[in-house]
Copies of this chain bind each other. A is one copy, B any other.
Amino acid sequence: MNQNTKDLLKTIADLSSTPTGAFNIRSNGKAIQRQCSENIEIITKEDKTGIDITVKPNTKHESLHIPVVITESGINDLVYNDFEIGANSDIVIIAGCGIHNDGHAKSQHDGIHFFHIDKGAKVKYIEKHYGEGSGDGERELNPTTIVKMEENSYCEMEMVQIEGVNSTIRETTAYLAKGAKLIVIEKLMTHDNQIAHSNMTVYLNGEDSTVQVISRSVAKNDSEQVFHPTVVGNEKCRAHVQCDSIIMDKAKVRSVPEIAANNTDAQMVHEAAIGKINNDQLIKLQTFGMDEEEAEDIIVEAFLN
A274 touches B253 (CB 8 A): no
Interface size class for chain A? 20 to 34
Q: Does A251 contact B (CB under 8 A)?
A: yes
Select A261's contact among B247, B264, B270, beta carbons within 8 Å.
B247
Chain B residues with Cβ under 8 A from A250's Cβ? 264
CB atoms of A256 and B253 under 8 A apart: no
Take A253-B260, A258-B255, A261-B253 as given contacts and tell me if A275 and B270 are in contact as well, using a CB distance cutoff of 8 Å.
Answer: no
Determine if A276 is an interface residue (Cβ-Cβ < 8 Å).
Answer: yes
Inside 8 A of A249's CB, which chain B residues have their CB?
264
The reply to whether the CB of A265 lies closer than 8 angstroms to some CB of chain B is yes
**A233→B260 CA distance, assembly (Å):** 25
A248 within 8 A of B: yes
In the complex the two chains form, is A259's CB within 8 Å of B274's CB? yes
- B256 close to A261 (CB less than 8 A): no
Given contacts A269-B273, A272-B269, A272-B270, contact A260 B252 (CB under 8 A): yes
| A256-B256, A257-B257, A258-B256 as given contacts; A251 in contact with B264, CB under 8 Å | yes
Q: Is A285 an interface residue (CB 8 A)?
A: no
Give the chain B neighbours of A264 by CB distance below 8 A: 247-251, 276
B247 A259 Cβ-Cβ under 8 A: no
A254 at interface (Cβ–Cβ under 8 A)? yes
CB proximity of A265 to chain B, nearest CB, Å: 6
Interface string of A265-298 (1 = CB under 8 A from B): 1111111111110000000000000000000000
Most buried by B among A251, A259, A276: A259
- Chain B residue numbers with a CB within 8 Å of A258 are 254-256
- A274 CB to closest chain B CB (Å) equals 4
Residues of chain B with a CB closer than 8 A to A245's CB? 261
Q: Can you list, as one digit per residue, whether each of A75-98 has a CB less than 8 Å from chain B (1) or not (0)?
A: 000000000000000000000000
With contacts A255-B258, A258-B254, A260-B254 taken as known, whether A276 is within 8 angstroms of B268 at the C-beta atoms is no
* B261 close to A252 (CB less than 8 A): yes
Question: A262 on the interface (CB 8 Å rule)?
Answer: yes
What are 16 of the A-B contact pairs (CB < 8 Å)? A247-B261, A248-B264, A251-B264, A252-B260, A254-B260, A255-B259, A255-B260, A257-B257, A257-B272, A259-B272, A261-B274, A266-B274, A267-B276, A269-B274, A270-B270, A270-B271
